Amino acid sequence: MRAAAISGILCLSGMSALIFETLWLRVAGLAFGNSISAAAIILSSFMTGLAIGGAIASVVKLGRWRPLRLYCSLEATVAILGCTLVFAIPFLGAGMRPLFQLLWDHQTALNALRFSFSFLILLAPSTAMGLTLPVLVEDSVLQPKAFN
């Protein structure tokens, strides 16, 4: 029964991650530009954060902490930071508009700036998302013996 509940939680977590990714892409597109390169930069920032979370999980011994408790705190972090970003990114874009206009003729520098800002603002929630699955599979219920 516990494995079924955890599987359902993982499904909901994955759905919320996709919803956040879509929301961040839309609001960041409004803030940083709706070009193909801007969307690719924002998406690559999100995926980089997920990869960093997975890399942290592979290096750090996650078994020391209680997996479900750590998972809950990671999901709370994703929820708080994710919702904050949805409302904060448009204000950030409005504040950055003069700098973007100044760099409009220098697309390489503009794309570097877009990547830097999107990477910095998406780093914490996307890294927490990348950590959730490795943390949860450390739970004793989901160990290989439970599936035999």
Residue that the structure tokens 């949805």 belong to: 86
Token digits of residue 145: 């013996």
At 52 the pLDDT is 94
What confidence tier does 8 reach under pLDDT thresholds 50, 70, 90? Answer: confident
Distance from C-alpha of 75 to C-alpha of 71, rounded to nearest angstrom: 6
Lowest mean pLDDT among 13-17, 70-74, 83-87, 142-146: 142-146
Whether residue 28 contacts residue 104, with contact meaning beta carbons closer than 8 Å, is answered with no
At 78 the pLDDT is 93
Distance from C-alpha of 122 to C-alpha of 114, rounded to nearest angstrom: 12
pLDDT in tens, 59-117: 887 666 788 888 889 999 999 999 998 999 888 878 888 888 888 888 888 878 877 88
pLDDT in tens, 18-65: 898 888 888 887 777 777 876 787 788 888 989 999 899 888 876 667
